[in-house]
Structure 1
């Protein structure tokens, strides 16, 4: 076969391995994600864990008005030590731009019975709840698009398409992301941080790029990590993920681009942590006074809750790894987008295969044998974000958010690679190139 005859086949391979979705694809994906999330939100009754975020949502008004000493929203107490404020801010935005305006009779009923009662007993109350949930539906769509972007970077267009279908039919995401809880913002900002870290590694390989651009990327990564932590305290593991990613890049690619300048790498690590900390404090006026003591109080309260919850919710207690394994198995069954009789074993094998492929991609990049650091970012960030599940003492479903994310992307990657291998075998003239295009 001549070079001219191979050119169209190479274009075919590039199209299927493209790492960036088109605008048309993004529009279609958004619709595919939006409607399941919306209908799930409309069919899910008010959940008790949404209560605090709804009640404390006026904290956004106090924050924007500069009332940083308001004791109702930023004083020392259970609401401020139990969770950072980002979810409350997002919920308030939903109500501010909401379309539900109760009539005088309904307002009187709200005043008499309260908003939480109205959520479960009246139609207009549930419509108000939907106002609070609407920004979380949008966040769920954005999370799906960002995870699809990660799948594209790992395995190309087919892997991205497979993930879109998995996300579309995954009950776990459909149920948890539209709720007025911390998981949606936590996932959104963690994904933004991971993708920014990917771009940072790409920039570090270039000699010609200005140092300022590289450092700005490190600062932006820290910003997203800070917002993730301000959504839920365990978002702080993103600092470790960012630092570890840059450190591994510096060790493995030390003679290439900006990696050859260790002081720049260490400065980037510092920026990730410093900007994350500054952002976390800046949007939470509770931390403006006695910052260190109050941050320790938040961490201490979280540890106390982890110790107390197993005694309160005995049916969800995790005593050992065998207990945890039973819950982890649900990621390959009820919490997977790929469900059919016997799917548990298939999902497990595909997930392990996808994880192994990502590890191989990471090692190849560190050795200089691959151009894309997507594998390294996926392994480090996915591992750091999912690792806390192994220390949990109670099996709340939403605690499995990041393990489910890692599992579904791994399954998509494995299926994408299997598709590539099948096409290579069936149509040798359409042979795929080894490297995924980055444009």
Structure 2
């Protein structure tokens, strides 16, 4: 009993540490862009104008549609809910951060949020990061018992990069939380693959993770592959159970897809077409960043740069 109480105390202390430090995180221009994007919440749930958030050609607002396709949706909706509950309105929102201009220009031309709006917009992501603490504790417990759970939770709650970006009004908070939920659901599915709740949890958490940030598709794919390989090895001599397990994983994938599309109105009219649009926009963005900031021309240079950045580079934040 005392051990369980101490477990709970450690989790609560770590969660409080994560949440309390949110106002201390230095501002990032992407926060302004996420707040700008939260006007989609107003279009849908305040003005009931769903046409504004659906894909149109030509777009009603090229700027908004471009951001809508490139970014996740969970954080912007939560930011919208936060400022709505706090008494802000659509007129209080800033414009998108202009990366081609300097700090003074952005702050003097309404491309940066007010201090009160920024504090409010950080609440959802900070809460998501805070809720991730008990999730990673549970994952550690499943993998190695109490010692592993403590180590995982403490390392997570004290990790500078996670704290910095998860506390900001950006996509990382929900991305981290739901990615960890996918891991937890995957472990549950492996141990209880015949239970309907486990496949629902795997599907819903996967959909929320990818809807939070598109790059979650890689971790989600890895978890699905890991679940299948583990269960295939365990059930290969039981073909009937193996087929049922495959079908359950297929259902979980369909649930994930359904959750993702439900949270992305811009995809409703032509999901397959949007996949191509997103890949094109993402490629153009990466090419533009490479052209602006430079890139590696050879594989050896890239590997050397990675090694220097990871092992020799001076600690820094962005």
Instruction: Give the shorter-chain TM-score range.
Output: 0.7 to 0.9
Contact 1:119 1:126 in 2 (8 A): no
Contact 2:33 2:95 in 1 (8 A): no
Q: CA deviation at 1:137?
A: 1.2
2:40 is matched with which residue: 49, 52, 59?
Answer: 59
For residues 294 and 115 of structure 1, the distance between their equivalents in structure 2, rounded to whole angstroms, comes to 23
For residues 101 and 293 of structure 1, the distance between their equivalents in structure 2, rounded to whole angstroms, comes to 35
For residues 155 and 239 of structure 1, the distance between their equivalents in structure 2, rounded to whole angstroms, comes to 22
Contact 1:62 1:68 in 2 (8 A): yes
For residues 119 and 142 of structure 1, the distance between their equivalents in structure 2, rounded to whole angstroms, comes to 33
Partner of 1:392: none
Partner of 1:303: 283
TM-score (norm 2): 0.79
Q: CA deviation at 1:74?
A: 5.5
Contact 2:186 2:202 in 1 (8 A): yes
CA deviation vs aligned residue, 1:221-265 (integer Å, no higher than 9, x gap): 111111111111111224422431232123321168x88612211
1:34 is matched with which residue: 11, 16, 21?
Answer: 16
Give unmatched runs, 5+ long, in structure 2.
Answer: 60-64, 98-103
For residues 49 and 316 of structure 1, the distance between their equivalents in structure 2, rounded to whole angstroms, comes to 25
For residues 15 and 239 of structure 2, the distance between their equivalents in structure 1, rounded to whole angstroms, comes to 38
Contact 1:239 1:272 in 2 (8 A): no
1:249 is matched with which residue: 209, 217, 230?
Answer: 230
Q: How many residues align?
A: 299
Q: CA deviation at 1:143?
A: 1.6
Contact 2:18 2:130 in 1 (8 A): no
Partner of 1:314: 294
CA deviation vs aligned residue, 1:108-130 (integer Å, no higher than 9, x gap): 9x69x9798999689x9212211
Partner of 2:267: 287
TM-score (norm 1): 0.59
Partner of 2:51: 69
| Structure number with higher relative contact order (C-alpha < 8 Å, ≥ 6 residues apart) | 1
Secondary structure of 2:218's partner?
helix
CA deviation vs aligned residue, 1:188-220 (integer Å, no higher than 9, x gap): 11111111111111113xxxxxx5xx2342132
Secondary structure of 1:244's partner?
helix
Give unmatched runs, 5+ long, in structure 1.
Answer: 1-14, 205-210, 336-396, 399-439
For residues 180 and 199 of structure 1, the distance between their equivalents in structure 2, rounded to whole angstroms, comes to 31
For residues 77 and 236 of structure 2, the distance between their equivalents in structure 1, rounded to whole angstroms, comes to 45
Give the direction of change, closer, same or farther, for the CA distance of 1:268–1:327 in structure 2 (3 Å limit): farther
Partner of 1:278: 258
CA deviation vs aligned residue, 1:82-125 (integer Å, no higher than 9, x gap): 11311201211222333x779xxxx99x69x9798999689x92
Report which of the two structures shows the higher radius of gyration computed on alpha carbons: 1
Contact 1:132 1:180 in 2 (8 A): yes
Q: Residue 91 in 1 paired to residue 79 in 2?
A: yes
Contact 2:74 2:212 in 1 (8 A): yes
Q: CA deviation at 1:315?
A: 8.1
Q: Residue 193 in 1 paired to residue 174 in 2?
A: no
CA deviation vs aligned residue, 1:114-160 (integer Å, no higher than 9, x gap): 798999689x9212211100121111111222122222222221222
